[in-house]
Amino acid sequence: MLSKQLQQVHPNVLAKVLKQKTIYQNKEIVVINKPYGLPVHGGPGIKNCISDVLPILAKMLENMKAEPLHLCHRLDKETTGVMVLARSKEVADSIRLLFKTRQVEKIYWAISLGDPDPAEGVVEIPIVEKEVQSHQSHYKMTLAPNYRLSPEDGKVVKIRKNRNAESAVTRYRLLASSSACSLLELQPITGVKHQIRVHLAYGLGCPILGDHKYSHWSKLAPQKLPEITLKRLKLEQSKARHLPLHLHAHRLSLPLGEQINLVCKPPLFFQKTLKKLELDITKD
């Protein structure tokens, strides 16, 4: 509902919402807690997006003569959490370079279906975009491993690299598990499109709660949830398609002269889900 409302409001109202969601600012950057369902960039059928209201937001934060703010990185439309905006093009360029050269530490939280085995580790499998042939053809990111099991003797053999695949590395750690779900802490070392979602769903077999795109490979269908999860969420399987994606950019460390640590609390729906599923986190 909220993301639908954000699509319908006047750009000034959207800028005001983002102003309220400002968690940190100094003379170089402004940091917001990105709301759910709000695209960063415009596109077909998108009326409101973050990049369009950056000039208005800058004026609201400083004064009428303020230069527009600049995007430094992107988050998926459904992802919430820490998002850095720069007050000048020079600062934006230097922050983009920090992201590109992997000097920014990013920590995400996700609620996933099932427990990863082992409970902590690194997924290092290249990712490639592929067309899925089904009754509705569509594109998805998927794994393009460099190894496979040989059908003859079950040994692991190296295979030829997919030319179009990008190398992708994600660290993960289990923080809590209950009700057939887990709360995971994730650190993407690389920044490939939908990387965390693909590594969790296809690499670990633990799709993110509410990730209807990556819960099945060959069809576009709502995620199928275990009985106990439905019961705790007080949800019918037929209504599962309304479940939002539970992926949140929780923390970001920026080496800008000094180390700036930025932390965002998960959105209310995420916190409520944690409670309902009894995923207790005692740490941070």
Cis peptide before 118 (omega within 30 of 0): yes
Q: Which residues, 6 or more positions from 112, have their beta carbon under 8 angstroms from its beta carbon?
A: 181, 182, 184, 200, 204, 206, 207, 208, 209
- CA angle (12, 17, 18) in 5-degree steps: 95
- Bridge partners for 30 per DSSP: 25, 85
Please give the positions annotated as active site: 76
Q: Which residues, 6 or more positions from 284, have their beta carbon under 8 angstroms from its beta carbon?
A: 263
